[in-house]
Amino acid sequence: MKKITSTIFTGLILCSALTIQAQTEVKKFSLNGTARTLSFLDNLSQDVEVADTITAPKSLSSHTLVDLGMLIRPGDNIAIQSSVRIRNDFGGFWGSGVTFDVRELYVKGVVKDVVRYQVGDVHYKLTPYTFYNNDSELSNYTPAAFSHLLDQVSYDNFYLGDNTWRQQGAAVDFGVVFNKYVQEINWNVFTGRVAATNGGNQPERLFSAANMTLIQSKYVSLGVNYANFYDFPGTASTTEQYVNPVVTGNAQVAYTFGDIALTANGEMGKSHNEIKNDSLAPVLDGNFFDTKIEAKYTPWQFGIYIGMKSVGADFRSAGAQTKRINFDGTPAAYERITNDQILRETTMFDLLREADLYNLQLQNGLMAFDARYDNITPYGAASPNRQGFEVGLNWVGCKDAVKLNASYLSQSEIRGQGTLNLRNFARLDANAIIAINKLLKWKKSIELTAGMRSDNTTRDGEAGVPSVDLLTDVLSLGFSANIVSDLDIVLGLQQHTYAGFEFVNQTDKYDQIINFTEFTVDGSQQMIGGGLRWNFSEKTYLMGQFNQFSQNNNLVDDVLPSYTINNFAFIYSMQF
């Protein structure tokens, strides 16, 4: 009996030792991924004198997908990540609606504990003027009730929330630490393949970027950035070669005087845009500078800043000016309406749920934009032909229960378009987050959000050229509250109004303006909705909600009527 007891005791000790060892070792293989079910039931009603007998008023679309990822660690300093998407669009029979795609594949590791590398799918960014994935129009004003829909769109398009672009290529970064004078110097290098050659007149198109950052101390840091969107010569029969190199330098200085923290940062640089061996193509050289000074009084958690900038009319940076939204696309739901089958314009309702309207790849030249959504910064901070200033403030108070931000932007064109007169731009922006439960000292979460933006574009007229005056306003309200246990209620309102007159540029293949189209708008879009969300965990939830979207068109001679779409949405989302 003692021998048996001793054997059991020894076995338990060995098992405990193996368990402790297994917990401390890194897993060689693990699974990760996401799963979701998404269903929409839409009902269209149109404000027309003659009923639409062609367009089906009701539409149902649903799908289930699983992104199954595998993380393999062959060694201590190397990892392989792959992900396969299995999607089933409801309505398929015996698997006919099922698709399989490789969603992600990369290898990353560390060489001699110094050099880090990644090959395959890479998420990368530099600065807002070299390589940066700007947020899409109106996305910063989406209340929580609708952000669940936008989250699915962002996930499908690899928008991670950190403004990186997902590219296919290779990245290397490493750093050197010093004992004195300089803390460290870091280097980052990336090259990705944008488009493959077609075997004829389209060569391999690549994008390369590099950065060196010198951190002198916690007070001073300096950086040099390089980005180039270019054709690889010799990979096609043509001798034409597109090149768009951008070189910038940036600096940041920070210092604290008692309770006041001061920060000053800036970036300046130049770009070159050319199609070599094409005698008809223009050569564009542009430059820019962007500076900002911010002061924060820490006891009050109050900050104020002022910034000045100038971006030349010929500044071109494909890595920073590529837009997320492809405004040349058309929505899949109710693509054409009325008996005349008029093409329906892309609305904020479509941008919340149609991933195909978004762009995955860098583009040369300036993409099309819709002046109703953003006529001031359509290409983010790097929007060309802009100069002016911005002031803003932010405050956090009431024991972190209230967060307020407000800013005012004033800019003008540097070079007139079609006239010597310059457009003037003004923007007023404000948003607030109020944790009501903290103010009332309740345990259950109750949050109210509010945001607004008012944009105005003006330009004086002259003989034969009418004046420009375009006003757009955005308003959003959101409310979320924990009712019982893991059940939340969410409510939201988002409204967008626009009225006025503007000119839209028509450009040729060289991105040169060749004509202008008159652009007159007078209307509004509104989306109101609410629903219930059951949170199984921080990464898994089930949500059902009702939304009503309406677009009103006040132009008498416009062929597109006012219409309303009632929508029931069902979302089940899981991350593991």
For 348, the 3-state DSSP assignment is: helix
Q: Which of 324, 129, 360, 323 is nearest to 226 (CA)?
A: 129
Task: Give residue 511's pLDDT band: very low, low, confident or very high (50, 70, 90).
Answer: confident
27-63: per-residue pLDDT in tens?
Answer: 788 999 999 999 999 999 999 888 999 999 999 999 9
| pLDDT higher than 70, residue 104 | yes
Task: Give residue 236's pLDDT band: very low, low, confident or very high (50, 70, 90).
Answer: confident
Q: Which residues contact 431 (CB under 8 A, 6 or more apart)?
A: 140, 141, 404, 405, 406, 449, 450, 451, 452
d(CA 544, CA 150): 15
Taken in order 276, 226, 385, 375, is the CA torsion positive or negative? Answer: positive
537-572: per-residue pLDDT in tens?
Answer: 989 999 999 999 999 999 877 788 999 999 999 999
For 500, the 3-state DSSP assignment is: strand
Computed on alpha carbons and rounded to an integer, the radius of gyration of the chain in Å comes to 27
Task: Give residue 407's pLDDT band: very low, low, confident or very high (50, 70, 90).
Answer: very high
425-451: per-residue pLDDT in tens?
Answer: 999 999 999 999 999 988 899 999 999
Pairing of strands 336-337, 184-195: unpaired
Confidence (pLDDT) at 558: 75
Taken in order 414, 419, 420, 423, is the CA torsion positive or negative? Answer: negative
Confidence (pLDDT) at 26: 61
Confidence (pLDDT) at 217: 92
Confidence (pLDDT) at 555: 87
* Residues 188-217, mean pLDDT to the nearest whole number: 93
d(CA 66, CA 85): 6
CA atoms within 13 A on the CB side of 558: 16
Confidence (pLDDT) at 95: 62
* Residues 126-153, mean pLDDT to the nearest whole number: 94
| pLDDT higher than 70, residue 121 | yes
Confidence (pLDDT) at 9: 35
**Bridge partners, 75 (sequence order):** 78
| pLDDT higher than 60, residue 6 | no
d(CA 526, CA 430): 19
Quick check: 236 and 202 in contact, CB under 8 A? yes
| pLDDT higher than 70, residue 24 | no
Which H or E element spans position 188?
Answer: strand 184-195
| pLDDT higher than 60, residue 14 | no
User: What is the 8-class DSSP label of residue 272?
Assistant: E
Task: Give residue 93's pLDDT band: very low, low, confident or very high (50, 70, 90).
Answer: low
Question: How does the average pLDDT of the chain come out, rounded?
Answer: 91
* Burial (CB count <10 Å: 0-12, 13-18, 19+), residue 539: exposed
| pLDDT higher than 60, residue 23 | no
* Residues 319-340, mean pLDDT to the nearest whole number: 94
385-399: per-residue pLDDT in tens?
Answer: 999 999 999 999 998
H helix intervals, 105-143: none
Q: Which of 425, 404, 243 is nearest to 318 (CA)?
A: 243
| pLDDT higher than 70, residue 13 | no
d(CA 476, CA 145): 11
Confidence (pLDDT) at 92: 64
Quick check: 481 and 446 in contact, CB under 8 A? yes
Q: Which residues contact 186 (CB under 8 A, 6 or more apart)?
A: 173, 174, 175, 211, 212, 213, 215
**Bridge partners, 61 (sequence order):** 40
286-325: per-residue pLDDT in tens?
Answer: 999 999 999 999 999 999 999 999 999 999 999 999 999 9
CA atoms within 13 A on the CB side of 487: 6
Torsion of CA 542, 548, 553, 558, to 10 degrees: 70
What percent of the chain is predicted at pLDDT more than 70? 94
Taken in order 194, 211, 75, 31, is the CA torsion positive or negative? Answer: negative
d(CA 124, CA 338): 44
| pLDDT higher than 60, residue 374 | yes
| pLDDT higher than 70, residue 463 | yes
d(CA 392, CA 537): 37
Three-class DSSP labels, 62-98: EEEEEEEEEEEEEECCEEEEEEEEEEEEECECCCCCE
Which domains can be identified in the chain, with CATH numbers? 2-575 (2.40.170)
Confidence (pLDDT) at 559: 81
pTM: 0.91
* Residues 174-200, mean pLDDT to the nearest whole number: 91
Would you state the structure tokens that stand for residue 52, as one six-digit string? 């639409």
Q: Which position has the higher pLDDT, 550 or 200?
A: 550
In Å, what is the CA distance from 19 to each residue of 14, 29, 171? 9, 17, 37
For the ranges 17-26, 332-341, 475-484, 500-509, the lowest mean pLDDT is seen at: 17-26
For 364, the 3-state DSSP assignment is: coil
Give the number of other CB atoms < 10 A from CB of residue 456. Answer: 17
* Residues 17-35, mean pLDDT to the nearest whole number: 66
In Å, what is the CA distance from 413 to each residue of 270, 271, 378, 462? 18, 18, 14, 17
